[in-house]
Amino acid sequence: MSIEIKNIKKRFGDFTAIDGISLHVPAGELVALLGPSGSGKTSLLRIIAGLELPDEGTVLFEGEDATLRRARDRGVGFVFQHYALFRHLTVFENVAFGLRVRKAGRPSESEIAKRVNGLLDLVQLAPLARRYPSQLSGGQRQRVALARALAVEPKVLLLDEPFGSLDATVRLELRRFLRRLHDEIRVTSVFVTHDQEEALEVADRIVVINRGRVEQVGSPEEVFDHPATPFVMSFLGHTNIFHGRIEGGKARLGSLTVDAPELSDASAVSGFVRPHELEISRTNGKPGGVWTTLVHANPAGALVKLDLSDSEGRPLQAVVSRDFFRLLEVRAGEALYVRPRSVRIFAATSSEEPLSFLGEAI
Amino acid sequence: MSLSHQAVHVFPLPVSRAGAESSAVRRVLVFVAVSFVALFVAVPVAAVFAEGLRRGAGAYFAALRQPETLSALWLTGVTTVSAVLANLLFGLAAAWAVSKFAFRGKNLLLTLMDLPLAVSPVVAGLVFVLLYGKQGWFGPILSEHGLKVIFAPPGIILATIFVTFPLVVRELVPVMEACGTEQEEAALLLGATGWQVFWRVTLPNVKWGIVYGVILCSARAMGEFGAVSVVSGHIRGVTNTLPLHVEILYNEYQFQAAFAAASVLTILSLLAVASRHVAEWRAKSAETSRKDR
Amino acid sequence: MGLTLGYLAFIVILPLSALVLKAAAMGPAAFAAAATSPRVMASYSLSLKTAVLAALVNGVFGFVVAWVLVRYPFPGKKVVDALVDLPLALPTAVAGIVLTTLYAPGGWAGKALLALGVHVAFAPAGIVVALVFVGIPFVVRSVQPVLENLEADVEEAAASLGADRLQIFLRVVLPSLLPAWLTGLALAFARGLGEYGSVVFIAGNLPMKTEIAPLLIMTKLDQYDYEGATAIAVVLLAVAVTFLLFINGLQRLSSRRGAAV
């Protein structure tokens, strides 16, 4: 089932949670709502579920207005951040709940058992059917919550920070599990997260939300490689920021100068460069780079993070492969030539105007 | 009156607490605490039974079999059941409204609900005399229709409901608040109707709160004296509750009979306290054993 | 919601406003005369003094009981813990007659105390004894949960910073227990001020000497002096409401403190 959201607004007292969001989720997609806490992403999810009413705007399911439809009539499966499992019911009964409360067309006892056991197999919890939620680990509870939401065969699956309260390894495992599960059952799914890595790994499409507005919608590659705003740029991974201005078709960003023939003169711009987009060498290679000093090299797994500092003492971060780092044979305090492969230029940070220009350094 | 049920069960702490008191200090403190409780609670309770049995078991049971004692016991039972039912129904509705919704005047409402705990029982009785008594607001209307509230069982029940009014709510509100609203939202999204959510999710979650509230409410209802004394009129065999009957016997110098009747009330209140503690202990051990498995 | 408000109005608000309106109808002069006659003033003063004294006794011993129940293991602890609740469940009339029997000149405790020259029954001291009994649960049950939730690591942190046991108690433990302790004191005091059943038997009820305010209401009612009873009741109600607001304030303070840690 597709979801269409049109110009939704929601205020809580003086706080504007959602400031006019429109969004289309095609049937069968797995979409991530990504944003910092307080950005309005959870409120949006709760409005889709019917747990909150929007002040303005409409929600359409499969083209039909569902804005005022009651939560229990929406056919929505919801997985809560803290699972919200019924503490007084066993795992089996938690999953069976949605079937048992059905007024019309309640399945027979044997059918309920079949359905529930099937779902427990799907989430690999069949041996724990008789346990109570308090006897389960966080990851297990999360999977019960998922099975419970799926038991009513929802047309839409909504997940609020589904991995938020799990430890790192379980998180990783469950992320892949959710991706596989979605590939299997193909139900339209929306999940909320503040973790960009999670969104990039799991989602078909990412909706980046900030201060109650959509910053960008796109595939993981699109939002990561072609961020539409400085916010998206800096929220999805670390960036180096250079401040400066545009003069006669050139961006002068401190020690960097970037060709920007399409941009008219502007007094304040910022250039963004990701750490892995910095070319590092020990000799002065192509023009357009700067000399820096290595402050500290921090090996993190297959990559090495380099803390650098330019001639004026401004910090820079670069990432290189371990092998490449070995070839460099560099030690702290020694000089490195750094040249950005590409720079994204936006009108000075915090401004909403995206100049969005990808310039090659000169 | 913060008798929150979490309060009572106590886990012994490891002795290795940082800078813990010396064992001499501990012993003195334990001695002081135990003596205080023994002197002010245990001894009086024991004395009730000692006085009641002073002339032997025969006299004890003879005193209990007096028709007036039995009818007082009956009225106390009826009053207690009515008050508990009324306050349980109200308590559920009120606790639900207070803990699941945010609205203006919520604090005022909570304070108003606590008021009967702070009001002197005699004042509680008086207000009902002023309302329903002969010279009261509704007195003339009531007597026109031949209804009697004051100096009759309805007045006793009303005054008892007033005095025990907050006891169930106070137990339920914290438990309901602690449960939050997520489980109910989950049930709604799974297709449950409002009633189904209430019966299948809300109620089971506050089960122990209800048990504690009902126990506390029953104990207070059966023992209420001041308020009931004002509205009862002390008509023997008709409007005498057991506590009032105890007073009458005592004032007539029938000490042994008074203590025999008092011992029934004492046994009931001991049962109430014990069942509450046992329930608490079981609720807690059920919780921990689930976690341990 | 509607049910809640309706029930609340019927059981609590309507009766209490009847009381206030009745007092208002008396007119200020008659009200003042009824509420401040010498016999009534003496009863306020007695109620106030005995309630304060009983609350203080409970403040000290209740604190020790709560402390011991939370901190130290000892045999019979569960029984002591349960007994603390008993004064709430035991009918006040039962407490009244048994305490009177114990402390009367011929009773077990009364005899011993009389030998020391102390009159308890039929004297103000007897009222204090009864009020101590009914007030026991309040301080214990207010302090106990807060003490239980007091994290051991806070005290350990203080110890690691070089504080000795007494300093830890005075500077760390006591301040965090203060709102709860005050709440317990206030509750015990409020209960003592309005208490009737356990006191009437032991007090002796001599006008101007051992006649508490709630008893005086009762006496006036027996004489069909509804106005006199109402005037005293309004004064007691006003004090009760003030205390309730005070207690609610304290509890909000203590829960805010709890949340801030």
- Which of A229, A257, A283 marks a domain boundary? A229
Do residues A100 and A217 share a domain?
Answer: yes
Q: What is the DSSP string of A68-80?
A: TS-GGGS-EEEE-
The C-alpha angle A44, A46, A50, rounded to 5 degrees, equals 115
Mean pLDDT of C160-172: 78
Give just the sign of the alpha carbon dihedral A50, A51, A52, A53. Answer: positive
Q: Is C195 left (phi over 0), alpha (psi -120 to 50) or beta?
A: beta
The strand order across the sheet containing A205-210 reads A76-79, A156-160, A188-193, A30-34, A205-210, A213-218
pLDDT at residue A331, as a whole number? 87
- Cβ of C73 under 8 Å from any chain B Cβ? yes
Place of tokens 């009534």: C40
CATH (domain of A280): 2.40.50.140
DSSP A359: E
Do residues A152 and A301 share a domain?
Answer: no
pLDDT per position as a tens digit, A21-75: 999 999 999 999 999 988 999 999 999 999 889 999 999 999 899 998 888 888 8
Q: Which chains reach chain B with 3 or more Cβ–Cβ distances below 8 angstroms? A: A, C
pLDDT at residue C1, as a whole number? 64
Across chain C, what does the average pLDDT equal? Answer: 86
pLDDT class for C136, splitting at 50, 70, 90? very high
Q: Is the pLDDT of residue B2 over 50?
A: no
pLDDT per position as a tens digit, A178-187: 999 899 889 9
Q: Is the pLDDT of residue B153 over 80?
A: yes
Contact call for A101 and B182, based on CB within 8 A: no
Contact call for B230 and C218, based on CB within 8 A: yes
Do residues A195 and A307 share a domain?
Answer: no
pLDDT per position as a tens digit, A206-239: 999 999 999 999 999 999 888 888 889 889 888 8
Q: Is the pLDDT of residue B13 over 50?
A: no
Q: Locate the domains of chain B by residue range.
A: 1-52, 64-292
Contact call for C64 and B33, based on CB within 8 A: yes
- How far apart, in whole angstroms, are the C-alpha atoms of residue C58 and residue A75? 58
Q: Is the pLDDT of residue A101 over 60?
A: yes
The strand order across the sheet containing A15-25 reads A15-25, A3-12, A56-61, A64-65
Report the domain count for chain A: 2
Do residues A200 and A160 share a domain?
Answer: yes
Residues of B in contact with C82 (CB under 8 A): 273-274, 277
Do residues A146 and A290 share a domain?
Answer: no
**Of B4-8, B94-98, B124-128, C117-121, which gets the smallest average pLDDT?**
B4-8
Alpha-carbon separation of residue B285 from A48, B288, C70, C107, C149 (angstroms): 41, 5, 18, 43, 19
Do residues A210 and A307 share a domain?
Answer: no
Q: Are A24 and A63 in contact (CB under 8 A)?
A: no
CATH (domain of A106): 3.40.50.300
Mean pLDDT of A313-331: 88
Range C36-260 classified under CATH 3.30.590.10? no
Q: Is the pLDDT of residue A352 over 50?
A: no
Q: Are C92 and B219 in contact (CB under 8 A)?
A: no
- Cβ of A69 under 8 Å from any chain B Cβ? no
- Which of A194, A229, A264 marks a domain boundary? A229
Percentage of the residues of chain C whose pLDDT score is greater than 90: 34
Q: Are A271 and A257 in contact (CB under 8 A)?
A: no
- Which of A229, A251, A273 marks a domain boundary? A229
Mean pLDDT of A189-197: 93
- How far apart, in whole angstroms, are the C-alpha atoms of residue A291 and residue B242? 96
- How far apart, in whole angstroms, are the C-alpha atoms of residue A99 and residue A108? 9
Do residues A148 and A18 share a domain?
Answer: yes
pLDDT class for A356, splitting at 50, 70, 90? very low
List the 218-247 stretch of C: residues with Cβ below 8 A of B. Answer: 218, 221, 226, 229-230, 233, 236-237, 240-241, 243-245
Do residues A224 and A242 share a domain?
Answer: no
| Helices B255-292, C92-103: crossing angle, 10 deg rounding | 120
pLDDT per position as a tens digit, B252-290: 988 999 999 999 999 999 999 999 888 888 877 766 655
Across chain B, what does the average pLDDT equal? Answer: 84
Do residues A290 and A174 share a domain?
Answer: no
End-to-end CA distance of chain B: 36
Do residues A212 and A250 share a domain?
Answer: no
- How far apart, in whole angstroms, are the C-alpha atoms of residue A273 and residue A255? 14
pLDDT at residue B187, as a whole number? 92
Which numeric CATH code is attached to B64-292?
1.10.3720.10
Between C143 and B23, the more confident residue is C143
Contact call for B111 and C137, based on CB within 8 A: no
Q: Is the pLDDT of residue B41 over 70?
A: yes
Between A79 and A300, the more confident residue is A79
CA distance B23 to chain A (A): 38
Between C167 and B8, the more confident residue is C167
Do residues A304 and A354 share a domain?
Answer: yes
pLDDT per position as a tens digit, B120-132: 999 999 999 888 8
Across chain A, what does the average pLDDT equal? Answer: 87
The SS3 call for residue A314 is: coil
Burial class from Cβ neighbours inside 10 Å (0-12, 13-18, 19+) for residue A277 reads: middle
Contact call for B185 and A51, based on CB within 8 A: yes
pLDDT at residue B78, as a whole number? 95
The SS3 call for residue B68 is: helix
Smallest Cα–Cα separation from B227: which of C137, C92, C85, C89?
C92
Q: Is the pLDDT of residue A164 over 70?
A: yes
Number of Cβ atoms within 10 Å of the Cβ of C186: 22
Mean pLDDT of A151-174: 87
| Helices C174-194, B121-132: crossing angle, 10 deg rounding | 50
Contact call for B205 and A97, based on CB within 8 A: no
Place of tokens 């330019």: A310
pLDDT at residue A267, as a whole number? 67
- Cβ of A87 under 8 Å from any chain B Cβ? yes
CA distance B201 to chain A (A): 7
Smallest Cα–Cα separation from B161: which of B243, B79, B75, B92?
B79
Alpha-carbon separation of residue C260 from A129, B7, B97, C257 (angstroms): 40, 20, 27, 5
pLDDT at residue A149, as a whole number? 92
Output the 3-class SS for chain C. CHHHHHHHHHHHHHHHHHHHHHHHHCCHHHHHHHHCCHHHHHHHHHHHHHHHHHHHHHHHHHHHHHHHHHHCCCCCHHHHHHHHHHHHHCCHHHHHHHHHHHHCCCCHHHHHHHHCCCCCCCCHHHHHHHHHHHHHHHHHHHHHHHHHHCCHHHHHHHHHCCCCHHHHHHHHHHHHHHHHHHHHHHHHHHHHHHCCHHHHHHHCCCCCCCCCHHHHHHHHHHCCCHHHHHHHHHHHHHHHHHHHHHHHHHHHHHHHHHHHC
Percentage of the residues of chain C whose pLDDT score is greater than 70: 97
- How far apart, in whole angstroms, are the C-alpha atoms of residue B50 and residue B43? 10
Residues of B in contact with C217 (CB under 8 A): 120, 122-123, 126
Q: Are A322 and A285 in contact (CB under 8 A)?
A: no
Tokens representing residue A210 in the block: 């900030």
Report the relative pairing of strands A30-34 and A205-210 from DSSP bridges.
parallel
Q: Is the pLDDT of residue C255 over 70?
A: no
pLDDT class for B19, splitting at 50, 70, 90? very low
Report the relative pairing of strands A315-321 and A303-310 from DSSP bridges.
antiparallel
- Closest partner CB to B115 (pick from C12, C92, C95): C12
Do residues A153 and A201 share a domain?
Answer: yes
Mean pLDDT of A153-173: 87
Contact call for B186 and A80, based on CB within 8 A: yes
Percentage of the residues of chain B whose pLDDT score is greater than 90: 36
pLDDT at residue B77, as a whole number? 94
**Of B53-67, B231-245, C130-144, which gets the smallest average pLDDT?**
B231-245
Mean pLDDT of A284-302: 84
Q: Quote the domain boundaries for residue A252.
A: 238-359
Interface test with B, best of C60, C97, C230 (most B CBs within 10 A): C97
End-to-end CA distance of chain C: 35
The SS3 call for residue B101 is: coil
pLDDT at residue A35, as a whole number? 93
Q: Is the pLDDT of residue B20 over 70?
A: no
Mean pLDDT of B59-67: 88
Between A252 and B38, the more confident residue is B38
